Structure 1
C-alpha cells in the first residue's frame, strides 16, 4: 500500500497538481486514500448531489420528472455546453434537463433543477446519507458570479494571474460547495448499491453518469472496451475533478474520487486532466490485487 500511495503522489507531482484521492471497492470495502478526508472544492461534481436529491423527490412524489419546462434564452446561467450555449427557446422535461446537467455539465440545466429542488433539499439529502463533510453553499450561477466579482475589472484575462486566483472564493472549500474524496466515494457506493434512493431511481442515476461525454480525465486511465466508466467531472480555474465508478467484466466495481488543483493557471493543461485517470488506475489496480 505504501508503494501505491507513493506512485499516486509521484503522478500528481509530475502533472504539476496537488491531488486528493479516495478509491473504494464497493463490494469488499477495501480502500485507498491520499488526503481522502481533506476538504475539496466540488465545482460541477456537486451536480451529482443535486441529481440524487431530484430523484429522491421524484420517488416521494414531490417532483414529476416528465414535467415540461420552458427555458427562454434570457437569464440562462453561463457555460459552454447544453442550454447555456443555445440561442433559441427550449422546451424539455426535467429528466432531460438532468441528462444535459450530467452528460455535458450544463450549468443552465443545473440551476433550473436547483430552483425546483432547492439547496436545502440537496443538503438534506447529503446529510441523510451520512456525508457530513459535503455541503452546497451556492447555485452554479452564483459560483460563476463570485468568480467575476473576485476577478475584478480585468475580466477573464485576470484569471491567468496567480494573485487573482488566490482570492477567488470559488476555490476556497470554506466558502463554496465542498466535500471530501471519501464522502464522494461513499455517495457513489450508495448509488451502486441502490441505497441512495429507490432502486429504479438509482438505476436512472447510474445511467446518466454513464452518459457523460468527457473521456479525457478518469476514463483515460481505463482504455478498454469491456471496462465501463461512469462519472461526473468538475472544473474551475486551476481545479480539475472527477468522481466515478469503474466496472470490470468480472463484476469488480470501484468508486473513485480525484480532486486536483494545478500550480499553473493555464485553462488547457492536458497533464492535469490525464493524471486523474492515471491515479484512478493506480488505485483500482491496487484494490484488484488485494
Structure 2
C-alpha cells in the first residue's frame, strides 16, 4: 500500500490540495488510509449523521417520516439549493425534506430536521456507533453565521483573502462539526450492512445517498454505467469533501471518505473537485487488487 499512498499524495499535490482519505472494503474489512485518523471539518458531510438519527428515531417509533412539516418563507438558513433558495412557504413530509438535504445539500432542510430530532440526538447516534472522533458542535445556520462573523465587514469577498480564511472557526475541527475519514467509512459500512438501523430504514438511507445530484467529485472517478456511487459532499471556503460507497457489479462494496483543503481561496477549482474522484478510484483499485474477498450472499 506504500506505493498507493504515494499515488494519492501525488494526485492531491497536482490538484493543489492537501488530502485525508480512508477506504474500506465493506465485506472483507480490508482498508487503505492516508491520514485517516486526522480530525477533519465535515461541513455538509455531517448531514449523513443527521439522516441516520432521523431514521433511527423513525425505526424506534419516535417520529413518522410522513409527518408534515412547515417551512416558512422567512428565517431560512442560507444556501443555493432546495428550500434555502425558495421564496414561498412550503409544507412537506420529513422524508421529502431529508431527500432535499441529501440530494442537493439543502441547508434549510437540514436545519428543519435538526430542529425536529435535536443536536444531542445526532451526537448520541455517532456515540452509539463508536465514532469517538465525530461530533456536531452546531447546526448549519450557526455554522454559516460564524463564517459571516469571522469574515467581517468585507463579506463574502473577504473570503478570497488567505488571512481571513485562516481565522474562520468553520475551518477549525476543534471549533466546528468534525470527524475523521475512518469514522465516516465506519458509519457508511454500518449503513450498508444494516447495522446502523433496521433493513427498511437502511435501504431508505442508501436510496437517498444514491440520489445525490453532484457528479463532479467522487462519481467522476467511476465513469461506468454498471458502477454505482452513492455519497454526500461537503463544502466550505477552501474545503471540498465527499464520503460515499462505490458498488461494483461483482458485488464489491467500498466505503471511501476523502477530505481536502485547497491552497487557493478561489471558489471554483475544478481540479480540486475532480481529485476526490481520482483519489477514490486509486484507493478502490488498490483494494480490488488484494486477494479475493469472501463473496457476499447474493452477489454475482
Task: Give structure 2 stretches of 5+ with no counterpart.
Answer: 291-300
In the other structure, the counterpart of 1:102 is 102
Q: Distance in 1 between matches of 2:50 and 2:228?
A: 23
Q: What is the match of residue 281 of structure 1?
A: 281
| Structure 2 partner of 1:222 | 222
Query: How many residues are treated as equivalent by the alignment?
Result: 290
Q: Which residue of 2 aligns with 1:204?
A: 204
4+ runs of 1 displaced by more than 2 Å?
A: none
Deviation at 1:73, TM superposition (A): 1.0
Trace 1:1-290 onto structure 2 (pairs within 5 A): 1-290=1-290
For the residues of structure 2 that align with 1:198 and 1:250, how far apart are their CA atoms? Answer: 25
1:88 to partner: Cα distance: 1.0
Quote the Cα distance in structure 1 between the aligned partners of 2:13 and 2:244: 22
In the TM superposition, residue 79 of structure 1 has moved relative to its aligned partner by 0.1
TM-score (norm 1): 1.00
Name the SS of the counterpart of 1:151 in structure 2: helix
Q: Once the two structures are superposed, what CA deviation does each residue of 1:213-270 show, in whole Å capped at 9, x if it has no partner?
A: 0000000000000000000000000000000000000000000000000000000000
Counterparts of 2:72 and 2:127, CA distance in 1:
34
For residues 114 and 134 of structure 2, what CA distance do their matches in structure 1 show? Answer: 16
Q: Report the CA distance between 1:199 and its aligned residue.
A: 1.0
Q: CA shift at 1:89, angstroms?
A: 1.1
Give, in angstroms, the shift of residue 70 of structure 1. Answer: 1.2
RMSD in angstroms over aligned alpha carbons? Answer: 0.4
Alpha-carbon separation, structure 1, partners of 2:161 and 2:196 = 41
Cα offset, 1:279, TM superposition: 0.3
- TM-score normalised per structure 2: 0.96
Question: C-alpha distance in 2, partners of 1:179/1:99?
Answer: 23
Residue 108 of structure 1 deviates from its aligned partner by 0.2
**What's the CA shift string for 1:83-116, capped at 9, x where partnerless?**
0000111110000000000000000000000000
